Structure 1
Amino acid sequence: MRDKDDAGTLDLITGKLMIGYARVSTDDQDLTAQRSDLKDAGCTKIFAEKITGTRRDRPQLERMLDHLRAGDVVTVTRLDRLARSTRDLLDIAERIQAAGAGLRSLAEPWADTTTPAGRMVLTVFAGIAEFERSLIIDRTRSGRIAAKKRGTRFGPTPALSDEQLALARKLMDEGKRAREVAPMFNVHVSTLYRALNRNVA
Structure 2
Amino acid sequence: MRHEHDPGTLDLMTGGLLLGYARVSTDDQELANQRAELTATGCSRLFAEKITGTRRDRPELARLLDHLRSGDVVTVTRLDRLARSTRDLLDIAEQIQAAGAGLRSLAEPWADTTSPAGRMVLTVFAGIAEFERSLIIDRIRSGRQAAKAKGVKFGPPPIL
TM-score by length of 1: 0.74
In structure 2, the residue matched to 1:135 is: 135
Look up the equivalent residue of 1:101 and give its one-letter code: A
* Unaligned stretches of 5+ residues in structure 1: 160-193, 196-201
Q: 1:139/1:78 Cα in 2 relative to 1: closer, same or farther (>3 Å)?
A: same
The size of the alignment, in residue pairs, is: 159
Q: Give yes or no for contact 1:8–1:45 (8 Å, CA) kept in 2.
A: no
In structure 1, the residue matched to 2:46 is: 46
Cα distance in 2 for partners of 1:17, 1:114 equals 13
4+ residue runs over 3 A deviation:
1-5, 12-15
Q: Give yes or no for contact 1:90–1:122 (8 Å, CA) kept in 2.
A: yes
Cα distance in 1 for partners of 2:128, 2:33 equals 33
Q: 1:141/1:57 Cα in 2 relative to 1: closer, same or farther (>3 Å)?
A: same
Offset of residue 11 of structure 1: 2.2
* CA-to-aligned-CA distance 1:97-156 (integer Å, 9 cap, x gap): 111110010111100000000000000000000000000000000000001111111112
Offset of residue 3 of structure 1: 9.3
* CA-to-aligned-CA distance 1:45-82 (integer Å, 9 cap, x gap): 11000001111110000000000001111100110100
Cα distance in 2 for partners of 1:92, 1:31 equals 21
Cα distance in 1 for partners of 2:11, 2:107 equals 24
Cα distance in 1 for partners of 2:154, 2:73 equals 48
Q: 1:22/1:144 Cα in 2 relative to 1: closer, same or farther (>3 Å)?
A: same
- Percent identity among equivalent residues? 75
* Unaligned stretches of 5+ residues in structure 2: none
Higher helix share goes to which structure?
1
Cα distance in 1 for partners of 2:138, 2:87 equals 18
In structure 2, the residue matched to 1:103 is: 103
* CA-to-aligned-CA distance 1:12-34 (integer Å, 9 cap, x gap): 85532111000001122100000
TM-score by length of 2: 0.92
In structure 2, the residue matched to 1:124 is: 124
Q: Which moved more, 1:58-67 or 1:38-47?
A: 38-47
Cα RMSD of the aligned pairs, angstroms, is 1.9
Cα distance in 1 for partners of 2:19, 2:9 equals 10
In structure 2, the residue matched to 1:23 is: 23
In structure 2, the residue matched to 1:152 is: 152
Q: Which has the higher contact order (CA 8 A, sep 6+)?
A: 2
